[in-house]
Amino acid sequence: MRLTKILAVASVVLAAGPAAAQKAGDSHLFPVVVHAQGLGDPPTMWQSDVTLHNPDDQSLTVGVQFFPEGQSNILDPSFSGQRSLTVQLAGHETKTLADVIAMLGYTSGIKGLLYVTCSPDIFPENPAEGTRIVATSRTYNTGSSLGTYGQTVPANEDVINATGAPSYVTGARQDSRFRSNLGIDSLGQSGTITVHYRVRNGAGTALAEGAKELPPGSMGQWTFADLGVPTTAGPLTVELWLDPADVTPDPCSVGPASNHFMAYVSKVDGNPQGTGDAEFILAVPSSKLDCN
């Protein structure tokens, strides 16, 4: 069973509105969680916390499943394997899963997607109707003696791209003060997909372009330096689009033949010296689908 439930969440994009940092629903897909050392002087040390809230009276079982970077990932519907854990939430209870990847038994040097669900299709003990949780995550640097610096990373299924039209993310920087990273998530089920990217400066000149191949149910993240973006003044914008060969005839479909991706930029203060504070910026699809 590949990422069927994740793509059921992804279908929300097909009537997409603006993304929010927090929202109520039975399933949430976080584009990146991390437990790893980063760049910077001193080196940044990144980890992710996930906070869950049950807004209703009834207790809920909530499943959390991790999909590591750079490999094909299959959804485990039992939520009982190494990549999964379950949480019990009483009515109106809130819990934070501090350093969630470490809770799953991973030690360091890893990142990936995180799927959180209380769907009664997976947990039949939950109410059949109206089941929902509110969820958010924070990824932050613990490497400074001054405190933690970080970014809210929303569950952002509203910005999934299901077409051949480009997505855009703006406000990146690659200069003497800031460094940026590009992340791309593949939600396709039919195999490896290719996502093209182009980075433009403020005047619209292309500074770097290329393509990344991603296995199904996985993600990748690259520094702008690795993408070939030179140190340059001013804000930068990234364009991203599916390879034409990977665009499915019916982008509203959710199934074995559908390909979807989402992307983001993480901009960090410190190149190399700085606070290590980060800003998370979502890529927004230029084409909005209405599949109602």
pLDDT, tens digit, 9 for 90 and up, residues 200-232: 999 999 999 999 999 989 999 999 999 999 999
**CB 117, CB 27: distance < 8 Å:** yes
Per the confidence metrics, is the pTM higher than 0.75?
yes
User: Does residue 244 sit in the same domain as residue 260?
Assistant: yes
Q: Both 240 and 276 in a single domain?
A: yes
Q: Is residue 291 part of a domain?
A: no
> Average pLDDT, stretch 158-168?
87
Mean per-residue pLDDT of the chain: 87
Residue 170 lies in a domain: yes
User: What pLDDT band is residue 275 in, cutting at 50, 70 and 90?
Assistant: confident
Q: Where are the beta strands (DSSP E) in 118-260?
A: 133-141, 149-153, 167-174, 178-186, 193-200, 206-214, 218-223, 232-242
Query: Based on the domain organization, do 148 and 80 belong to the same domain?
Result: yes
Cα 73 to Cα 210: distance, rounded to the nearest angstrom:
24
Res 239: pLDDT: 98
Separation between Cα atoms, residue 136 and residue 21, nearest integer Å = 7
Share of the chain above pLDDT 70, in %: 88
- Average the pLDDT over 138-163 and give the result: 80
Mean pLDDT of 144-148: 75
Is 292 among the domain residues?
A: no
In a domain, 267, yes or no: yes
Q: Give me 99's structure tokens.
A: 């350093």
pLDDT category, 18, cuts 50, 70, 90?
Answer: very low
Q: Give domain status of residue 255, yes or no.
A: yes
* Residue where one domain finishes, among candidates 153, 179, 203: 153
State whether 32 and 68 are in the same domain: yes
| pLDDT at residue 6 greater than cutoff 60 | no
Confidence of residue 13 (pLDDT cuts 50, 70, 90): very low
Specify if 72 maps to a domain.
yes
Task: Look at residue 9 and tell me whether its pLDDT is greater than 60.
Answer: no
20 and 129 co-located in one domain: yes
Residue 157: its pLDDT value, please?
A: 64
Tokens in use for 179?
């460094």
Whether omega for the bond prior to residue 272 falls within 30 degrees of 0, making it cis, is yes
What does the pLDDT read at residue 255? 59
Residues 210 and 190 in one domain: yes
Helix/strand/coil for 214: strand
Q: What average pLDDT does the segment 37-46 reach?
A: 85
Q: Which helix (H) or strand (E) holds 25?
A: strand 23-25
Asked if 126 and 17 sit in the same domain, the reply is yes
pLDDT single digits (tens) 48-91: 999 999 999 999 999 999 999 999 998 899 999 989 999 999 99
Domain boundary among 153, 184, 207: 153
Judgement on whether residues 13 and 142 belong to the same structural domain of the protein: yes
Of 120, 135, 153, which residue sits at a domain end?
153
Query: What range does the domain containing 217 cover?
Result: 159-285
Q: 260 in a domain, yes or no?
A: yes
Integer Cα distance of 152 and 81 in angstroms: 27
> Are 60 and 116 in the same domain?
yes
pLDDT at 149: 82
Rounded-to-integer distance, Cα 162 and Cα 252, Å: 7
Region 7-11: mean pLDDT is: 43
Number of structural domains in the chain: 2
